[in-house]
Amino acid sequence: MQMTGDETAPQKALVEFREIGKTYPNGTVALRNVSFQVIEGDILAVCGENGAGKSTLMKILAGIEQPTQGTIHYEGRQKRIADPNVAGDMGIGMVHQHFSLIRSLSVAENLALGQEPRRGLLIDRRAAADRVRELAQKFSLDVDPETKVGSLSVAAQQKVEILKALSRNTRLLILDEPSAVLTPQETQELFEQLRSLRARGVTIIFISHKLHEVRALANRITVIRSGEVVEDGVLSEMSDAAISKLVMGVDVTRASRNQRDLSAATPVVVVKKATVATGDSDRRIDAIDLTIRAGEILGIAGVDGSGQEGVVDLLCGNVQPDEGDISLLGRPMALATTLDWRRAGMAHLPGDRFQIGGAPHMSLVDNVMAGSHRDKQFTRGPFLRVDAMVARTNELIKTFNVRCLGPREPLNSLSGGNAQKLVAAREFSSNPKFLIVNQPTRGIDVAAAAMIHGELLRLSQNGTAILLVTSDLDELLQLSDRVAVMFDGRIAVVLENDGLTPERLGPYMLGLEKAS
Amino acid sequence: MIRSAFASTAITVGFCLFVLLVVLVPVALLYPEPGEVLSRFLLGPFEKTRYMGNIVELATPSMLTALAVVLMFRCGAFNLGVEGSFFLGGLTTAAMVLWMPLPPLVGIPLALLAGAIVGSLVCGIPGIVKATTGASELVSSLMLNYAAVFIGLFVLNYYLRDPTAAMLSSDRFPAEYRFESLIPRTRIHIGSIVAVVACIIGAIYLNRTSQGLEVRISGTGNDFSRHLGLNSVALNIRIQVIGGMIAAFAGGIEMLGLYSRFTWQNTTGNGWTGVIVAIIARDNPILIIPAALFIGYLQVGGDLVSRAFGVPTEIVSLIQALVMICVTSVAIFQHPALRKFVQGNRGEAAQ
């Protein structure tokens, strides 16, 4: 372990981990000899792969889990953080990746939960609301205390979570992958808020997979790999390559695309003047023209809600166009249902792996085989050949490197990245002629993302036409042969990706420029 | 997954025992011989072959209605038409037996089939209405139960009634149509075997067939089945018709197994018991068998203490209700379809 510090600034350790170890009863070692300091007033990024142990460490600090070894020192004194209440009293607040808010209660009620202001036997609602306003003003996080949490956007819910974490004189705020559920714009706003919190003297620890976010926000970084601290230091002294090498343990070979000329390749999907004027306003599309050729990856860029979801709905058969034509390999598809699309060779990796892409409570076998459960290979008459299904599932688990206990585990026992790999395994293994991928790597770790990128490029080399919808511009520009930028339900421009930059796309995404 | 299924079964058994004691002990203490009341309730049902026979007789119809409920719940349809299906199934089977001069070997299956088809309407119609108009199958099936009863009473009163009988009932069934008792000193009939076999077939259907997989996928919510391109609307209707047929078939079996005339003047409660059994069995067809026997055992035990000590039989309902509350409160957190239903629409993920 190497300790590098910013020698010029006066430093005081707010938290010090001393040889923290955590072994679960089943023998899994989550953390081993973890020692480092959290400097007061810093924004510390904790990086590492899924399952590296960073969340466990943060849960120990927040009192949710207990270490099996080692001690935590807070403001120089050894402390035992027996439960989250103790952590709260000490001034430690944590914002979890999955929100712990009650949707049917108002913001004020959620914040008051567990520490309700009372008037006699009753809860003093006005005092609760006033407290929220006061807090919101103090930290300039703008929320209305009376609104029901369920009716708030994800970004606003996160603000409420942060307020909740800050509500007890919090000096140390822990955020577990705060940007995983946010759009890039919302992430920018969140980062502004976190910076202003820091200016108010709150120390921040945040867990992230995304290097550019770490760079944008943090000043220190701690890298955890397989339960051990492999790096701890000042961020500006480290290169991206060095960090990703530390996170992964090896150099990440970023899958990269070869520049190809695909203008002669067969058009697989052709969309002509397709319009969908009904449904949610951010899913409407207006006179879309698109051609995706065999072996081509067509990326769709745009500010969220510019109609990308509408194009996905249209091309997977969720909706039929009110006007216009679609064809897949020359076959008319304007009236096709999802089943027709699938039969014609479409596959689809959806944006939400637990709601749309899979059934969280069903087994991995069921999740992988769903869709091919009528194939001759896996049936005998009306019956399923369970042995063949399990064998196939094991095979896919192996090829796609899905970390799990076995094929009979439910899908929701997997981490986000592994669940995504499993859903991708199902969709990619059907040898699709046309593949839709929607936010393929949102919220998953670098290694899983690299694996999915590699698979996408391999499929495109084998002639699959791919539609890539993503709000991650790096990903978009890394993979796409051409980029269509959408604005307000229309395609603003289609650009060849010969060295495209985000700056080039920006004006089209914001509707400032249109193709002439 | 197997371990988790075992764990939830163990939890359920634990709840049942816990509730049993929490209700029984205070009630027993009200009587001069509390120990007697307890042992009569808990051990009495096993004292005589006849009592054990009663358990099986009571469990038989609820196994089948529970199977119907489980199939529909697993497909995501909260259809409570089993009560009405059971009633109409019994009525139609009775009418067929009385009106059709056929040898029993042909007549009995035909009467049961006719009962199943007619009775399936009570579950099937709400399914179709849901698919075409979006009206909640829960509400329309509940209402249709009443319609089924009044249609049944109309038919009974005007077409089946035995004018010579002192009460409102049909003519006597010909003796050769009635199921024989399989075990002496009990009224256990072939229907019990049919019910057990049906539950096993139900388990195989859900877990080992392509369509069963589609049912389970469809039950987890529409987004995933739509993503896969499954036609879950058609599947939903089909399952509700099948569920109605099973419940109505149970009504026919009950009629021929335990009755000599059609005498029902209201719904029998076997459908509701089926819902209770389905919930205790946690939507698992195999677990329906012990769950139905457990409810039968409670009813026999309650009956015995009521006769011997005058303990009100309502305590059985009380135990059932508390078991239901315990089991469902856990199930709400675990069962995605039920959770979705309770929350009204798409709730957030479980974590």
pLDDT surpassing 60 at residue A4: no
Query: Residue B344 pLDDT more than 70?
Result: no
For chain A, give the percent of residues with pLDDT over 70.
94
What is the residue extent of each domain of chain B?
A: 2-343
Chain A nearest-CA residue for B220: A359
* ipTM greater than 0.95: no
Residue B311: the pLDDT is 82
On chain A, the residues whose CB falls within 8 A of the CB of B346 are 355
Domain layout of chain A by residue ranges: 13-248, 255-345+432-516, 358-429
Which of A98, A356, A379 lies closest to B223 in CB terms? A356
Could you tell me the fold of the domain covering A13-248? Answer: Rossmann fold (3.40.50)
**Residue to test with chain A: of B73, B214, B218, B224, most A Cβ within 10 A:** B224
CATH code reported for the domain at B2-343: 1.10.3470
Instruction: Please work out, in degrees rounded to the nearest 5, the angle formed at the alpha carbon of residue A83 by the alpha carbons of A78 and A85.
Output: 100
CATH superfamily of A255-345+432-516: P-loop containing nucleotide triphosphate hydrolases (3.40.50.300)
Q: Could you tell me the strand order of the sheet in which A92-95 lies?
A: A92-95, A172-176, A203-208, A43-47, A220-225, A228-234
Name the residue among A361, A347, A432, A445 with its Cα closest to residue A401. Answer: A445
Whether the per-residue pLDDT at A436 is higher than 90: the answer is: yes
Q: If you measure CA to CA, which chain B residue comes closest to A427? A: B228
pLDDT digits (tens, 9 = 90+) for B206-221: 999 999 999 999 988 7
Assess whether pLDDT exceeds 80 at residue A5. Answer: no
| Closest Cα in chain B, distance from residue A116 (Å) | 24
Q: DSSP labels for B182-240? A: SSTTS---HHHHHHHHHHHHHHHHHHHBHHHHHHHHHHT-HHHHHHHT--HHHHHHHHH
Q: Write down the pLDDT at residue A6.
A: 45
Helix (H) or strand (E) holding A222: strand A220-225
B332/A contact by beta carbon, under 8 A: no
Per DSSP (E only), the strands in A245-399 are 267-276, 285-293, 297-301, 323-328, 331-332, 346-349, 379-380, 383-384
Token pair for B54? 């009663």
Does B213 contact chain A (CB < 8 Å)?
Answer: yes
pLDDT at residue B346 is higher than 50: no
**pLDDT score, position B342:** 53
Determine the Cα angle at A170 with ends A35 and A85, to 5°.
80
What average pLDDT does the segment A148-169 reach? Answer: 83
Reported as a single tens digit per residue, the pLDDT across A304-337 is: 778 888 999 999 998 999 999 999 999 999 999 9
Enclosing H/E stretch for B337: helix B336-343
Tell me the chain A residues in contact with residue B220 when contact means C-beta distances shorter than 8 Å.
359-362
pLDDT at A250 over 60: no
Q: What is the mean pLDDT of chain B?
A: 86
Hey, of A59, A148, A153, A355, which one would you mutate to test binding to chain B, going by the most B CBs within 10 A of its CB?
Answer: A355
pLDDT tens readout for residues B116-146 = 999 999 999 999 999 998 889 999 999 999 9
User: Is A284:A307 a contact under the CB 8 Å cutoff?
Assistant: yes
Kindly state the percentage of chain A with pLDDT values over 90. Answer: 30
Distance CA B283, CA B278 (A): 6
pLDDT at B296 over 80: yes
Minimal C-alpha gap between A279 and chain B (Å)? 16
